[in-house]
Structure 1
Amino acid sequence: MPTLTIETGAPARVTVRGPGGTWHAPEDAVQDLTASDRPGVLGMDRDPSDGSVIEPGYPAHFLADGTAEVPVPRGACTVVVERGPEHRRVERVVDVGAGPARVAAVPERWADLAGAGWWSGDLHVHRPLADAAALLRAEDLHLGAFVTRWNDQPTAADEPAAGGGTGAPAGGAPRAALTVDGDRHAVAPVTEDERGGGAVLLHGAAVPDLPGTGADDWWSPPSRALVDAARAVGAFVEAEKLTWWDAPVLMATGAPDAVGVLTNHLVPGGVLANEAWGRPRDRAAHPGRAGAFRYQLGLWYRFLGLGLRLPASAGSASGVLPAPPGWNRVHVQAPGPLTVEGFYAGLRAGRSVVTNGPLLTVTVGDAGPGGTVPAARHRVRAEARTPDGAARVEVVVDGRVAARSDGPALDATLDLRGAGWVAARAWQPDPRTIRLAHTSPVHVDGPGPDPAEHRAFFARWVADLAVMARAEPGRFPSAARRDEVLDLYDRAARFYR
């Protein structure tokens, strides 16, 4: 085969498709060798109306560090080069003859959020730490949280030593296992506990005795016990998504530091329009792919309506689901040069915006995400930038759209007396998936709306959990372990009364 030399100018993600529809990559390039992108539902749809569809082709990409030499067949080859949302996607068609060919495909930077003090991160990465430097550079990410411990999965071979006593979570506050270019950090260890109640991410903690996923461990011990132990040694706790059965239990018994708002159910080639083994949505009220995502978003709004301060985070689960690191990313405002400590402190304080498309900013009066304003009339300004300008902006107050614009900018004056929180979101058209940016809330200092409806909603949810626990004794290895979980549900139920 002739060789096609591709000049990317800097680290980037590259896809090469030959004239017969075949994919091509250098043998020694960094690739995602674990994620599946087969069309269909990835084995998780519980209802045919979900309609999950994933377009194939994601694993065909590879990473280049400025140049790449790819063996390709003769004929028209399509080259796509990307470097995260702050660079323009480049697509070239090259007619390759009998001899070597060359093409320049350099993504142009059109935005620089880090230059303004907003740093990008993906808080859920399942890729080898050995590839971290290449991944962070190619995706223009400043922080990646690399999962090194996961139920029933071998401990990552390159997990950094964390110390600590046997049986108790080791580690502490999130730290860099690797730093490149001074301000790009791979965070590890990170533990993901994902069982019957759902998934939590413990940033900075390694749990030596992580429960398995067999019948005896599926619901017990509860993740609450692991969360409390990890937090005691300084770990950062994130609720991976809010559709999991245990989400309202976690919120009621000690809320996490952040919650996944843009999650691994949104991928470049489609949407997983289901709740996996979490609490299924009412499909009549929330039909199809858009309904599946709006259900997730609405749960966050309900928790915020209870007065909980839950900053928005984002993750892609790259290495498990077909998305590159940073496809769903969070931008965090922190002083530079960036440190891991500064990133997590900014996220914990709510100075965050999540996106898989538009680059969104908002101010309410003089406050940005994570800030607080008095209960009064305020000018709200929001702007969503994309490479082609295609986006529409909405301002959400207590879960309802209070103002919207058909274009990328919005400027409105809103009466926030009696409100609890304000946020902005922006939608970008995409026929394959959902492209959204969402800010963490700006809080309103004053008596907010009555949370009775939200309390009742989650009280019913927790009651359903208790009924299932009592009706299915086989969930637990012993009556004592069942009673431990039921006591936890009772604590949660009291919170929602």
Structure 2
Amino acid sequence: MSRKTIILGIYVAAQVAQAQSLPEVHNVDLQPLKAQIQRLIQAKDYLGEPFSPKVKKQLSQALGQADANEAVAAVQQILDAQCLIGININPESRVKVKAGPAKRELVEQGWRSFLVKVNNLAGVTAELRASSPNSRPHAGAPQSQIVDRWLGLSMHNSQPLTKTLSGLALEYRIVQLYSRDAGKRDAKLSFDVGQGTQDLGFRNEVSLLFDCKPARKVTLKVLDENGKPTTAGFEFRDKLGHVYPSQAKRLAPDFHFHPQIYRANGEHVKLPSGSYTVRNYRGPESIPQTRTITVGNADITESFQVKRWVDPSLMGWWSGDHHIHAAGCAHYKNPTEGVHAADMMRHCLGEDLKVGANLTWGPWFDYQKQFFTGKIDAVSQFPYLLRYDVEVSGFGSHQSGHLCLLRLNDQMYPGGESKHHWPKLCLNTLRWAKRQGALVGPAHSGWGLNQTGSTLPTYEVPPFSGIGANEYIADVTHMVPGPDGKPVPAVDFLSMVDTPSVWELNIWYHTLNCGFRTRISGETDFPCIYGERVGLGRSYVKLDGKLTYNDWCEGIRAGRNYVGDGRSHLIDFQVDNVQMGVNGSELRLAKADTVLVTAKVAARLNDEPIPGLAKRNYAQKPYWHIERARLEGTRKVPVEVIVNGYPIAKKEIIADGDLRDIAFEVPIEFSSWVALRILPSSHTNPVFVLVDGKPIRSSKRSAEWCLAGVKKCRSQKRRFMGEDEITDFNAAYDHAEKAYHRIIGESVTD
């Protein structure tokens, strides 16, 4: 190498060093700077990236100097070397940014912290904010922008540091950066201290090239309770609580609004070296487990086995959620209009949800409608079944109450190919759906049926002003033609578990007391009312043979199911020798008598209560949860027998997960309906006990409540009708009023 080349190399290196060095700040009071440096040291320790012992010693020596100016200069010489960014805030509060000398090295799927030097000539005490086009979330981004959104960015503006700048002329802050990728990546970083503080000419931003080192591959061996390969949910967190993979950088099948991901046996995650807390589980019938794993400098395999406390499917009870969505609400519109069947199937598998009804609705209807086939989707993996159907929501009759339409043969209402031509009257939609043999019922039943009290049943007439089971109060009185032309009930079920229990159950209890036989089914309305997971609200349907989607739906129509949060179970409920959901769920007595109510019951509470949940107002989430049923100071919950809406017998069980036989002797004076519940965690469908062949007319007050409800709903919903449906609207409500007037005259006075 020539002497000229060596001299040139030295010159270039000196120029680079000069370009990256940060200006020294003068006239700084040492005492507040010293306090700020101590907080900085504590923050670095807390973040898990402490200064080296050598640097800590150097800082101690520098701050211990007698000459304050020399101490301030020495501190800057030590810390500037670790600064990624230098910031100058001029007397007019304009922010100017310069690259610092710190090594620009990140790690794939991991966070790293860097120092930011702030020369605050304006004495600003606002929050220092960082931003980058590269740190924008994936959710909502066009596909073309995903590749550039590789960065995670966060200022550490919490304890032991202060949220805002101190106003001191010199201080050091911490910026944290996350890399989605391995390899060379360019990022543009911008800083400001409030609107209008950016310097002119883009001088508040800087472009930096990072070298992102690869993370380690962690292969997951995932087994069920029997040692067979399965899919489960996992939450990976570092000691600071950071979630891995970063939620902001997720695309399907990992959802950006979840802390958890779902992985099958043999799949993997990528993690930087370090220690992680891993929580794994598989739906509410499993016992979540937590442990720590350590990732070193090589790829590893970690084994996990699901621990289960109950499995209703072994007794023929199959879980399902009739209301989940692949589009809308928490789902993104970009880079795709919602997610796809394989993504939803993964979540059903991870939550051990046997049946998922994936409902196409208003948002991105015209994109999602292409996936409807009128049969289970090809991604189904028996016994896990996924099928596309429809929720009337965001169009059509939704203002009178959203409708779940399951087991459709044709998803499109006649007269068009989209959502704009559907009828405004729910009953007209129900007529069309029932003609093709669909299973139908209102979604999120409680909305619009608000109650001020918590007693069940309650006789306060709600506003009927929402999108739940509002028009249901009229529709339940109607019979409509089925596939063979014979009359069938217009409504098959009411949805439960995703709205306040009192609001949902009250209208059901009252209509049952009038003799109507609408059943209930559990739903989540994922990811709208609940985005935490699919299957938060469930139905458990008893089938004698192989699970099919059609038979599962038929089980709901017949009422051969119980609903709940999956944390308690009411299995094989029957009254005398009549099983719930078999032969019309009907027990006939010649005269008033005592009946035997039996079931197998299981529930599971943690040893220690979830703080505050049991006493939370029932109209606050979670609406249904076993913790709300806990008897204070115990691990017990009450199992109640409900007759005509009222609890008439109760037994306490230990909620330790064990399955127990339970029995009650219940007097029946007149035709009544009987059910079991652990409120608000699980509820059976009813068995109908007919005395002397008479129909159920168990409460005149309930019939009067229903009549008042029809009138209230009529006044609320008429304004949503088009002129072409006013005649149908009036006829539907006239019929309902007439029916309730007749039932009032036939009912038991109470």
Q: Fold match, TM over 0.5?
A: yes
One-letter amino acid matched to 1:358: S
Instruction: Measure how far apart 1:458 and its partner are.
Output: 1.7
Residue 647 of structure 2 is matched in structure 1 by 401
Residue 348 of structure 2 is matched in structure 1 by 136
Q: Give the number of equivalent residue pairs.
A: 420
Give the 3 Å change call, closer, same or farther, for CA 260–129 of structure 1 in structure 2: farther
Please tell me whether the aligned partners of residues 151 and 210 of structure 1 are also in contact (alpha carbons under 8 angstroms). Answer: no
Provide structure 1 residue ranges, at least 5 long, that are not aligned to the other structure. 37-58, 163-174, 266-291, 428-433
Residue 260 of structure 1 is matched in structure 2 by 494
Residue 576 of structure 2 is matched in structure 1 by 365
Give the 3 Å change call, closer, same or farther, for CA 468–123 of structure 1 in structure 2: closer
Residue 412 of structure 2 is matched in structure 1 by 207
Please tell me whether the aligned partners of residues 359 and 391 of structure 2 are also in contact (alpha carbons under 8 angstroms). Answer: yes
How many Å separate the matches in 1 of 2:506 and 2:386? Answer: 31
Please tell me whether the aligned partners of residues 515 and 697 of structure 2 are also in contact (alpha carbons under 8 angstroms). Answer: no
How many Å separate the matches in 1 of 2:434 and 2:393? Answer: 14
- Residue 12 of structure 1: which of 232, 237, 242 is its match? 232
Give the 3 Å change call, closer, same or farther, for CA 119–341 of structure 1 in structure 2: same
- Residue 230 of structure 1: which of 428, 433, 436 is its match? 433
Instruction: Measure how far apart 1:299 and its partner are.
Output: 1.5
Residue 563 of structure 2 is matched in structure 1 by 354
How many Å separate the matches in 2 of 1:443 and 1:72? Answer: 57
Residue 666 of structure 2 is matched in structure 1 by 414
- Residue 689 of structure 2: which of 417, 441, 444 is its match? 444
- Which shows bigger deviation, 101-110 or 114-123? 101-110
Instruction: Measure how far apart 1:180 and its partner are.
Output: 3.6
Q: What TM-score do the two structures reach when normalised by structure 2?
A: 0.52
Please tell me whether the aligned partners of residues 373 and 388 of structure 2 are also in contact (alpha carbons under 8 angstroms). Answer: no
How many Å separate the matches in 1 of 2:652 and 2:722? Answer: 55
Residue 744 of structure 2 is matched in structure 1 by none
One-letter amino acid matched to 1:232: R
Report SS of the residue matched to 1:242. coil
Residue 49 of structure 1 is matched in structure 2 by none
Residue 183 (structure 2) pairs with residue 183 (structure 1) = no
One-letter amino acid matched to 2:643: V
- Residue 196 of structure 1: which of 385, 388, 399 is its match? 399
Query: Which has the larger share of helix?
Result: 2
Residue 207 of structure 2 is matched in structure 1 by none
- Residue 545 of structure 2: which of 309, 323, 336 is its match? 336
How many Å separate the matches in 2 of 1:468 and 1:242? Answer: 17
Report SS of the residue matched to 1:406. strand
Give the 3 Å change call, closer, same or farther, for CA 364–222 of structure 1 in structure 2: same
Instruction: Measure how far apart 1:122 and its partner are.
Output: 0.9
Residue 146 of structure 1 is matched in structure 2 by 358
How many Å separate the matches in 2 of 1:184 and 1:468? Answer: 41
How many Å separate the matches in 2 of 1:190 and 1:261? Answer: 15
Provide structure 2 residue ranges, at least 5 long, that are not aligned to the other structure. 1-109, 111-214, 224-229, 327-339, 447-467, 480-488, 606-634, 655-659, 742-750
Q: What TM-score do the two structures reach when normalised by structure 1?
A: 0.76
Please tell me whether the aligned partners of residues 670 and 690 of structure 2 are also in contact (alpha carbons under 8 angstroms). Answer: no
Residue 536 (structure 2) pairs with residue 327 (structure 1) = yes
Report SS of the residue matched to 1:294. helix
Report SS of the residue matched to 2:345. helix
Counting aligned pairs with the same residue, the percent is: 21
Report SS of the residue matched to 1:455. helix
- Residue 491 of structure 1: which of 735, 742, 747 is its match? 735
Residue 79 of structure 1 is matched in structure 2 by 278
Instruction: Measure how far apart 1:211 and its partner are.
Output: 8.1
One-letter amino acid matched to 1:364: V
How many Å separate the matches in 1 of 2:349 and 2:549? Answer: 17
Instruction: Measure how far apart 1:79 and its partner are.
Output: 1.6
Instruction: Measure how far apart 1:303 and its partner are.
Output: 1.4
Residue 673 (structure 2) pairs with residue 463 (structure 1) = no
Report SS of the residue matched to 2:231. strand
How many Å separate the matches in 2 of 1:114 and 1:130? Answer: 23
Instruction: Measure how far apart 1:468 and its partner are.
Output: 3.8
Report SS of the residue matched to 2:596. strand
Please tell me whether the aligned partners of residues 320 and 538 of structure 2 are also in contact (alpha carbons under 8 angstroms). Answer: yes
- Residue 598 of structure 2: which of 381, 391, 396 is its match? 381
Residue 261 (structure 2) pairs with residue 62 (structure 1) = yes
Please tell me whether the aligned partners of residues 636 and 652 of structure 2 are also in contact (alpha carbons under 8 angstroms). Answer: no
Instruction: Measure how far apart 1:495 and its partner are.
Output: 1.8
Please tell me whether the aligned partners of residues 261 and 300 of structure 1 are also in contact (alpha carbons under 8 angstroms). Answer: no
Instruction: Measure how far apart 1:419 and its partner are.
Output: 4.4
One-letter amino acid matched to 1:154: D
Residue 507 (structure 2) pairs with residue 295 (structure 1) = no
Report SS of the residue matched to 1:196. helix
Deviations 1:425-480 (A, max 9, x none): 124xxxxxx5x01111111022445432122112112212333456x5xx4444x5
Give the 3 Å change call, closer, same or farther, for CA 477–354 of structure 1 in structure 2: closer
Instruction: Measure how far apart 1:373 and its partner are.
Output: 2.2
How many Å separate the matches in 2 of 1:402 and 1:355? Answer: 21
Instruction: Kindly report which structure 2 residues correspond to 1:300-311, keeping only aligned pairs within 5 A, or say none.
Output: 300-311=508-519
Please tell me whether the aligned partners of residues 672 and 698 of structure 2 are also in contact (alpha carbons under 8 angstroms). Answer: no
Please tell me whether the aligned partners of residues 178 and 185 of structure 1 are also in contact (alpha carbons under 8 angstroms). Answer: no
- The structure number with the bigger radius of gyration is 2
Please tell me whether the aligned partners of residues 596 and 665 of structure 2 are also in contact (alpha carbons under 8 angstroms). Answer: yes
Report SS of the residue matched to 2:306. coil
Please tell me whether the aligned partners of residues 19 and 76 of structure 1 are also in contact (alpha carbons under 8 angstroms). Answer: yes
